[in-house]
Chain A
Amino acid sequence: MPETAQEEIVIDLQGLKKSFNGNEVLSNITLQVKKGENLVILGKSGEGKSVTIKCIAGLLQPDAGSCRVFGKEVQQMDPAELKELRKRIGFLFQNAALYDSMTVRENLEFPLKRVAGLHDKGEIEQRSMEVLEAVGLTDAIDKMPSELSGGMRKRMGLARTLIVKPEIMLYDEPTTGLDTITSREISELILDMQRRYKTTSVIITHDIPCARITSDRVVIMHNGEYIASGTCEELENADDEFVRSFFK
């Protein structure tokens, strides 16, 4: 990573708290993500990993604390500012969240027309083909999402997110429900896309091979807080038994 990029903080969470029906999910989240960094968040199910990235994307409002993205407080943004922020953020949902009434082509055209504001048919076609080529799905352009396999849906979700060239990518369990080989392919694709599009990535996963392939840094989440941070190798040899248990 270049030296200058290391210094620029694009995501800054300070003392973030969030509860649902009295159940505290995030109790004190403090985290900084540098520009160009690939950060992996590990934790048990229900620990609030997805809640954290939904707060970053402005889909959920934290109860307390600060969530700054590109230096601006997300909770204090008006709808127009939030829309502008979201143009710079890509979010890959756990089940890819493809629009199932649209073909692959229409799924790609949707953000291009509405978010990037493109209306030139040639340019839309070129951008669609470029991103489909990057994820290896050019043959599927006229298929419906229901005709795609689990791995293809994830690739397609990635393509739809990357087509507007976001600066930050948020991945919510990108390899869940996939076989080992496809998981590995998706993990390598994430890394490849990060290098190609120079994005900053936050990846939520339970999948240790995925974490090993994609991460520059890993943080471990437990009881609504981050309890450890480091590279995979550092955490694998940590003193804390709970931290090491993720890598067994």
Chain B
Amino acid sequence: MPMPGKYSLQPALITVADQIGFLKQFFSNCFRKGFEWTEFFRQAYNVGYRSTGIIALTGFILGFVLTLQSEPTMKQFGATSMISGMVSISVMREIGPVIVALICAGKISSSIGAELGSMNVTEQIDAMEVSGANPMQYLVVTRILACTIMIPLLTIFADVIALLGGFTATNLGGAMNPWLYFYKATTALEFADVIPSFIKTILFGFTIGFVGCYKGFHSNRGTESVGIAANSAVVTASVWIIIIDAIVVQFTNMFVYA
């Protein structure tokens, strides 16, 4: 058999084929009898509730800083009354989903990669498989679905907190009625701002779960490989988030704002 050259595409193609196979297994197990509800809710709690602290802090600072940074420029144009709308559109459309997804890639994808990698090293996944249980259904389906559902919810939460941060920053320099602030923030938004962004967060959530599970499930047998799986999960998920974001923005511009 000819050996692959130094710059052979063969390993990359094998990995892609492997990932497609993993994706197929995920979908076929999603609809198989015996869905693991208890494990799904446990994962949803881990992904969602346990991330609320960091997401709230990041969201608040995001809205706060965005308001403070844009205020001097907006003042020059006499458009300070539009700051709330500007913050709301930028957070909802772009910054909120991407920042939350990148934080979750670091926190959740790495944690899933390390957990499944460690289970792989200690033969727990083999033990599940050899006992006749289905590790794909128990470990992978529950985690990917939990990420796909909880990350959009975390993004909505972050968006609301970011508006609170923006309101706080606005009130540092003067007093603004909260109802007026939130009225201006929400009326600036259209469905075309919210829907594509929400769909994007679903794709981000799926990617975070999928990459974490794939990296953990396919880690090598050794302690070092647990760290490699976790690290690789963060890097790969982050890169995919940026790529998906670029693609979705292109589609949105083509079909929604056209």
Contact = CB atoms under 8 A, between A and B. Distances in A.
Interface string B108-139: 00000001000100111011111111100010
Contacts of A93: 123, 126-127
B132 A97 contact: no
A200 to B, nearest CB: 16
A87 B133 CA distance: 9
Interface stretch (A31-39, A110-118, A233-241): A110-118
B123 A97 contact: yes
For chain B, which range describes its interface: under 10, 10 to 19, 20 to 34, or 35 or more residues? 10 to 19
A99 B132 contact: no
A208 interface: no
B129 A59 contact: yes
B173 interface: no
A223 interface: no
Interface in B27-44: 34
Contact of B130 (A57, A98, A99): A57
A89 interface: yes
Contacts of B133: 110-111, 114-115
A86 B134 CA distance: 11
Listed residue (A84, A111, A164) with the most chain B CB atoms within 10 angstroms of its CB: A111
Contacts of B34: 114
Nearest to A163: B131
B141 to A, nearest CB: 14
Listed residue (B115, B128, B130, B133) with the most chain A CB atoms within 10 angstroms of its CB: B130
A161 B127 CA distance: 9
Contacts of A86: 129-132
A58 B129 CA distance: 10
Contacts of B127: 91, 93, 97, 99
A195 interface: no
Contacts of B123: 93-95, 97
B126 A59 contact: yes
Contact of A99 (B124, B129, B134): B124
Interface string A62-95: 0000000000000000000001101101110111
A147 interface: no
Interface of B: 34, 115, 119, 122-124, 126-134, 138
9 contacts: A57-B130, A59-B126, A97-B127, A98-B124, A110-B128, A110-B131, A111-B132, A114-B131, A164-B131
Given A97-B127, A115-B132, 7 more contacts: A57-B130, A86-B129, A86-B130, A86-B132, A98-B124, A99-B128, A115-B131
The list of the 6 closest CB pairs from A to B, nearest first, reads A97-B127, A86-B132, A97-B123, A115-B132, A114-B133, A91-B130
